[in-house]
Amino acid sequence: MDSSEWDARYSSVEHPWGSAPAAALSARFAELMPGRAIDLGCGDGRHARWLADAGWTVHAVDFSSVAIELARSGGEDRSIDYTVADARTWEPSEPVDLVAIGFLHLPVDELVAVIAGAASWLAPSGRLLYLGHALENFTHGVGTLACARLGWAAHDTPVVSLVNRPVDTLAPALGDRTRLLVLSRDEHTPAAVAELLTERGFGPSRLTVLGELGGPDESRLDGTASAWSHEPGPRLNVIAIDCRAESGALRLTRLPGLPDAAFTGDGQMTKHEVRALTLCALAPAAGEVLWDVGGGSGTIAIEWMRTHPLCRAVTFERSAARVDQITSNAAALGVPSLAVFGDAPVAFGDVPADLSAPDAIFVGGGVTQDGLLDECWSRLRVGGRMVANAVTAESEALLLQWFSRCGGQLRKFQVYRGEPLGGFTAWRPQLPVAQWSVTKQSKGVVA
Ligand SMILES: C[S@@+](CC[C@H](N)C(=O)[O-])C[C@H]1O[C@@H](n2cnc3c(N)ncnc32)[C@H](O)[C@@H]1O
């Protein structure tokens, strides 16, 4: 990474390495007589601050000007000099008693040259400390190392990152007798994950928290989600979850459709069986964007997003109360990033650029609204799919017209549910649903 990439990193994440010093540094230097120190590749300055507080006169160097700015603002009132410079070429003007280089990962030949150069800056009896991550983290990914510790097969173990995502996003990956690894955001993530598991009916799951994997201070904590009581450990950690569902917990898989009972609200939704058929027609794939027009309870958009972590969706709903139910269903079902907008088609203009060319559009409400289908059609990217469901005769007639203009498939579903009738079971018919699905072949306006 060059300095501008590091600038971007420091601009987007507050204290990416935490504010406490690495234990390996503080443990080694707590008893040393302070003198002059250099923190090379100092980042936002956690080691420089710790050294200054321990009495050292510190020169902190990093080639990211954003990092140095952050370090400077957090290290006021301490005897620290800051310099924006490249560690590969910078040199101090006088010998020092200590050089600390924390997690400065350069190509090996450059790193060797930097460390050799840094050793030459030391006064007699001076110390040099280099801290780095295990090389396996780069060559195999942290997942492989974690699996090696646990005796799990890396190729069978999904990895979920919570580094920049809310803990709710773990929910779709949970399943009884599933194993998975979670990349933590910080030292508080294990407790948050244990709480989520317990809330979602996975309290009996076994958790193992592997801290500072591959480093000299590697650690391990074990426990059960519902009884997790460990104090926060290392900020850098991976959580291994051996999922166990409580008996009777609602079973929620990634495959549509979820039971209707998985959604809360006023019951305004495409029901289980037709929802499964609708998602099947929409055919989500990783990275695709859905517009769900007439969101109701958010079921279609939520299930679209649950099929793959990279699937994104926007939903449009005019009723404020339903906007709330969509948002709470999205969080409960593990897709809190579902974007909710107001009245379609007016709100189409509010959609941010990265979501503005949908790969698929579902129209579950407002089919008969003047111009709605035309507006949806014009927003759909060429090659995208449009699926519209109709329950009323009027909306069905409109779908028939669009089918005759644009082609595609027309289908009609009639579902009967077996329900109690006195002491017997009767086939209770659900409302029949007509469905038009089509792939947009060209930019052309519909005649
Ligand atoms: C992983 S961070 C570690 C920061 C700090 N040492 C700590 O442990 O908190 C690595 C740092 O090295 C800096 N860095 C990377 N290459 C560098 C170079 N050639 N010269 C100076 N700094 C560099 C980055 O800007 C970043 O701040």
Whichever domain contains 233, its CATH number is 3.30.950.10
Q: Is 67 in the pocket of ligand 1 (CB under 6 A)?
A: yes
Residue 251 domain-assigned (yes or no): no
From 182, 211, 242, the end of a domain falls on 242
Instruction: Determine how β-strand 360-363 pairs with β-strand 409-413.
Output: unpaired
| Ligand 1 atom 27, closest CA | 43
What pLDDT does 77 receive? 72
What pLDDT does 447 receive? 43
What is the distance of C-alpha 293 from the center of its chain? 25
* Same domain, residue pair 101 and 56: yes
Spatial distance between the Cα atoms of 165 and 167, rounded to a whole number of angstroms: 6
* Same domain, residue pair 175 and 198: yes
* Same domain, residue pair 98 and 125: yes
Average pLDDT over residues 133-148: 73
Residue 102 domain-assigned (yes or no): yes
Element spanning 62, H or E: strand 57-62
What pLDDT does 20 receive? 81
Give which of 283, 254, 440 is closest to 357, Cα–Cα.
440
| pLDDT band of 104, cuts 50, 70, 90 | very high
Give the residues across from 360 on adjacent strands: 290, 385
φ/ψ of residue 75, rounded to 5: -115, 20
| pLDDT band of 236, cuts 50, 70, 90 | confident
The number of folded domains in the chain is: 3
Spatial distance between the Cα atoms of 148 and 69, rounded to a whole number of angstroms: 40
Of the ranges 7-16, 102-111, 266-275, 288-297, which one carries the lowest mean pLDDT score?
7-16
Spatial distance between the Cα atoms of 119 and 97, rounded to a whole number of angstroms: 10
SS3 assignment, position 159: strand
Average pLDDT over residues 431-440: 97
Nearby residues of 147 by Cβ (< 8 Å), 6 or more positions away: 153, 154, 157, 181
* Same domain, residue pair 277 and 337: yes
What pLDDT does 135 receive? 59
* Same domain, residue pair 303 and 208: no
| Ligand 1 atom 23, closest CA | 41
Atom of ligand 1 nearest to the CA of 17: 9
* Same domain, residue pair 150 and 127: no
* Same domain, residue pair 343 and 264: yes
The token pair that represents 44 in the structure block: 């936002």
pLDDT digits (tens, 9 = 90+) for 299-311: 999 999 999 999 9
| pLDDT band of 140, cuts 50, 70, 90 | low
| Ligand 1 atom 4, closest CA | 43
63: domain range?
3-131
Residue 253 domain-assigned (yes or no): no
Distance 61 CA to ligand 1 centre (A): 9
* Same domain, residue pair 299 and 351: yes
Residue 255 domain-assigned (yes or no): no
* Same domain, residue pair 219 and 281: no
pLDDT digits (tens, 9 = 90+) for 207-234: 999 998 877 789 999 999 999 999 999 9
Residue 141 domain-assigned (yes or no): yes
What pLDDT does 446 receive? 53
Give me the CATH number covering residue 390. 3.40.50.150
The token pair that represents 87 in the structure block: 């560690």
Q: Is 87 in the pocket of ligand 1 (CB under 6 A)?
A: yes
31 vs 284: which has the higher pLDDT = 284
Taking a C-beta distance cutoff of 8 angstroms, is the pair 325, 297 a contact? yes
* Same domain, residue pair 96 and 31: yes
Residue 333 domain-assigned (yes or no): yes
Average pLDDT over residues 394-399: 96
Spatial distance between the Cα atoms of 206 and 204, rounded to a whole number of angstroms: 7
Spatial distance between the Cα atoms of 389 and 439, rounded to a whole number of angstroms: 15
Which one of 3, 47, 62, 235 would you pick to mutate in the ligand 1 pocket, going by the greatest count of ligand atoms within 8 A of its CB? 62
* Same domain, residue pair 80 and 31: yes
| pLDDT band of 137, cuts 50, 70, 90 | low
pLDDT digits (tens, 9 = 90+) for 313-328: 999 999 999 999 999 9
Element spanning 420, H or E: strand 416-421
Give which of 395, 383, 390, 447 is closest to 413, Cα–Cα.
390
| Ligand 1 atom 16, closest CA | 104
CB-based contacts of 217-220 (< 8 A; 24+ apart in sequence): 217/22, 217/23, 217/24, 220/149
Taking residue 176's Cβ as centre, other Cβ atoms within 10 Å add up to 15
Spatial distance between the Cα atoms of 350 and 341, rounded to a whole number of angstroms: 8
Q: Is 235 in the pocket of ligand 1 (CB under 6 A)?
A: no
Q: What is the pTM of this model?
A: 0.70
* Same domain, residue pair 40 and 111: yes
Indicate the average pLDDT of the chain. Answer: 92
Average pLDDT over residues 154-183: 93
Residue 445 domain-assigned (yes or no): no
Residue 254 domain-assigned (yes or no): no
